[in-house]
């Protein structure tokens, strides 16, 4: 089985590797796009490494450098779990090349294992950037023996396997449950979203336990916190003991447990792999269907409806598309039920300050969630190999992208307005200020939609083999999401600072004008790219 798994893995990597495309293509535009995407990802990895090294410097100056191995293990494990949970459906189940792979003389568990290893290999650069950076920081302060450096790197390759397997198995269970429903894609997305929310809320639950002394004693230092986490998550403890105490037994336990869990998981997954994929790829037809009167829509609204069907027809697309607006809706409801002051106190750990100074930042706080993902970043690329059909229609490109942008506005605006109203009501914001905050939210959604469309058109990729490549890993999504989120976090701080000396209404009007101007420029850029 092992040689066949790696044969399939090698084929998958060669067929999707952008460097391989760069070597064999003569299309200069495609080569420039690949180089630009590679440079963007390298810059991103460099930022992550710089952050990790600075964090190690802080730990070293505080005299708790011994906590770095555990922290590294926990960080990589959380990242591997989150990455895999959102990609399992697109890579392991319901993937495009399923019929071709299943026609080959391989067992189902062999194909499933190769797809899993492809998910793992695809995320290795992220894990490596964290591991190497923390190894550099640990080496500067701890001065370990020479053999620790290669041992750290080797075990770092093994460390993400366990959380990746756990996330893949949860994805398998979700897919198994959802096959019993007519709308399997929607059910899967709901289950994944519920799991993400539960994981997010568990942080506050654990913190409340610690603060109320429901354990033996409150963890007083960061090193003790990580040690306690390692006692719960055993692979992190094995990794730390192998590094700090040079424990050969713990290193062997980490490798052996990962290999054993891999064999067990794919023995279970392989037993019903075909049936799950067949159920997810089939479409039920109702016998009670009746032809009714046909409604006439405008071309733009027709494209918008098509985008809705595309969103609800893909679990990966739906999950990533609604995660931000879903969290925004939960934030609004939680604020109404619990209270604005209590939510702020929970997040800031009861820091002593007047919560009213946060009021002008409400639209940006909501936008942090709502603007997390824009469908316009990936919808141009999702046309894929069917793009020629769209191009052959008597349809202007301007109209096509106007429909795509309108759909994102339909998707985000209701949640933006709802969450802003909930936060303003709970915080006791004046009516006029609330109206201005909603208008600012509309301007921010407009900017998110148009800027996402610029990224989607500029970095359109139609030769993808799996939709995960354009929904989660494309340069367009990265270029939109990461700068957007970092800028929003900075704007929250800036608005709070300026709000101490400037009238909140004037401040909101100024940022509304700025967001509207940026949205207008982005829309103009979209229209110019269409030509």
Question: Where does the pLDDT of residue 318 fall: very low under 50, low under 70, confident under 90, or very high at 90 and above?
Answer: confident
* DSSP sequence for 78-141: HHHHHHHHHHHHHHTSS-TTHHHHHTSS--HHHHHHHHHHHHHHHTHHHHHHHHHHHHHHHHHH
State residue 197's pLDDT score.
53
Stretch among 198-207, 228-237, 368-377 having the lowest mean pLDDT: 198-207
Give the per-residue pLDDT at 413. 93
pLDDT confidence of residue 395:
76
Q: Render pLDDT for 166-189 as a digit per residue (tens, 0 to 9).
A: 887 777 666 666 554 445 445 445
Q: Is pLDDT above 50 for 212?
A: no
- Looking at residue 451, what is its pLDDT? 93
Comparison of pLDDT for 158 and 316, the residue scoring more: 158
Residue 285's pLDDT is: 45
Mean pLDDT calculated for residue range 49-78: 83
Helix ranges (H only) for 428-474 are 431-458, 468-471
Both ends of the chain: CA-CA distance in Å?
A: 52
**Alpha-carbon distance 399 to 320, whole Å?**
25
Which distant-in-sequence residues (6+ apart) come within 8 Å of 443 by Cβ? 512, 515, 516, 519
Q: What is the mean pLDDT of the chain?
A: 77
Query: 267 vs 221, which has greater pLDDT?
Result: 267
HSE-CB of 229 using CA atoms within 13 angstroms: 23
Q: Tell me what the mean pLDDT of segment 493-519 comes to.
A: 89
Residue 376 has pLDDT above 80, yes or no: yes
Q: How far apart are CA 134 and CA 128, in angstroms?
A: 10
Q: What is the pLDDT of residues 246-291, one digit of tens each?
A: 888 888 988 898 888 888 887 777 666 666 666 555 544 444 545 5
Q: Which pLDDT band, with edges at 50, 70 and 90, does 89 fall under?
A: low
* Dihedral sign of CA atoms 233, 234, 237, 239 in order: negative
Across 129-157, average pLDDT: 88
Specify the pLDDT at position 232: 66
User: Residue 31: is its pLDDT beyond 70?
Assistant: yes
Q: Can you give the pLDDT at residue 317?
A: 79
Joined tokens for residue 199: 């994981």
pLDDT, tens digit (0-9, with 9 covering 90-100), for 477-501: 878 887 777 788 888 888 888 888 8
- The residue length of the chain stands at 531
Q: Given pLDDT bands bounded at 50, 70 and 90, which one contains residue 115?
A: confident
Question: Who's near 358: CB < 8 A, 6+ residues apart?
Answer: 344, 365, 427, 496
Q: Which residue has the higher pLDDT, 362 or 117?
A: 362
Handedness of CA 429, 434, 438, 443 (dihedral sign): negative
SS (H, E, C) 347-410: HHCCCCCCHHHHHHHHHHHHHHHHCCCCHHHCHHHHCHHHHHHHHHCCCCHHHHHHHHHHHHHH
pLDDT given at position 450: 94
The model's confidence at residue 380, banded by pLDDT at 50, 70 and 90, is confident
């Amino acid at each position: 089985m092992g040689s066949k798994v790696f044969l399939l893995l090698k084929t998958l990597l060669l067929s999707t590797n952008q460097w391989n495309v760069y070597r064999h293509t003569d299309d200069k535009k495609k080569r420039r796009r690949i180089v630009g995407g590679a440079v963007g990802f390298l810059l991103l990895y460099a930022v992550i490494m710089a952050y990790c090294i600075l964090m190690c410097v802080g730990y070293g100056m505080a005299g708790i450098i011994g906590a770095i191995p555990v922290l590294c293990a926990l960080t990589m494990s959380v990242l591997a779990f989150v990455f895999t949970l959102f990609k399992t459906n697109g890579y392991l189940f319901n993937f495009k090349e399923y019929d071709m792979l299943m026609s080959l003389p391989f067992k189902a568990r062999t194909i499933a294992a190769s797809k899993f290893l492809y998910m793992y290999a695809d995320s290795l650069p992220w894990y490596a950037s964290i591991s190497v950076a923390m190894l550099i920081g640990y080496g500067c302060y701890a001065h370990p023996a020479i053999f620790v450096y290669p041992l750290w790197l080797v075990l770092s390759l093994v460390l993400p396997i366990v959380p990746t397997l756990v996330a893949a198995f949860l994805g398998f269970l979700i897919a198994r449950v959802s096959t019993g429903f007519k709308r399997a894609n929607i059910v899967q997305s709901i289950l994944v979203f519920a799991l993400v929310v539960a994981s997010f809320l568990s942080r506050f639950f654990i913190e409340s336990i610690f603060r109320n002394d429901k354990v033996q004693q409150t963890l007083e230092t960061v090193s003790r916190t990580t040690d306690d986490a390692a006692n719960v998550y055993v692979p992190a403890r094995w990794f730390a003991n192998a590094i700090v105490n040079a424990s050969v037994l713990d290193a062997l336990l980490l490798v052996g447990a990962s290999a054993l869990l891999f064999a067990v998981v794919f023995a279970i997954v392989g037993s019903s792999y075909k049936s799950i994929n067949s159920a997810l790829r089939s479409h039920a037809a109702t016998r009670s269907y009746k032809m009714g009167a046909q409604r006439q829509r405008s071309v733009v609204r027709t494209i918008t409806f098509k985008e809705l069907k595309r969103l609800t027809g893909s679990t990966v697309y739906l999950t990533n598309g609604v995660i931000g607006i879903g969290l925004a809706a939960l934030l609004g409801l939680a604020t109404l039920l619990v209270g604005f002051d209590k939510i702020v106190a929970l997040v800031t750990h009861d820091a002593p300050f007047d919560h009213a100074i946060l009021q002008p930042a409400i639209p940006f706080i909501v936008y942090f969630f709502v603007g997390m993902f824009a469908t316009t970043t990936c919808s141009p690329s999702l046309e894929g190999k069917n793009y020629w059909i769209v191009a052959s229609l008597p349809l202007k490109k301007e109209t096509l992208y106007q429909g795509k942008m309108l759909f994102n506005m339909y998707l985000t605006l209701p949640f933006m307005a709802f969450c802003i109203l909930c936060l303003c009501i709970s915080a006791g914001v004046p009516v006029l200020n609330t109206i201005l905050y909603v208008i600012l939210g509309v301007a921010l959604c407009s900017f998110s939609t148009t800027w996402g469309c610029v990224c989607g058109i500029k970095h359109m990729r139609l030769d993808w083999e799996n939709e995960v490549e354009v929904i989660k890993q494309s340069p367009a999504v990265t270029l939109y999401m990461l700068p957007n989120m970092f800028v929003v976090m900075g704007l929250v701080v800036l608005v709070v600072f300026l709000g101490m000396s400037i009238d909140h209404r004037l401040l909101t009007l100024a940022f509304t004008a700025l967001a509207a101007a940026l949205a207008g420029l982005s829309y103009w850029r979209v229209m110019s790219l269409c030509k």
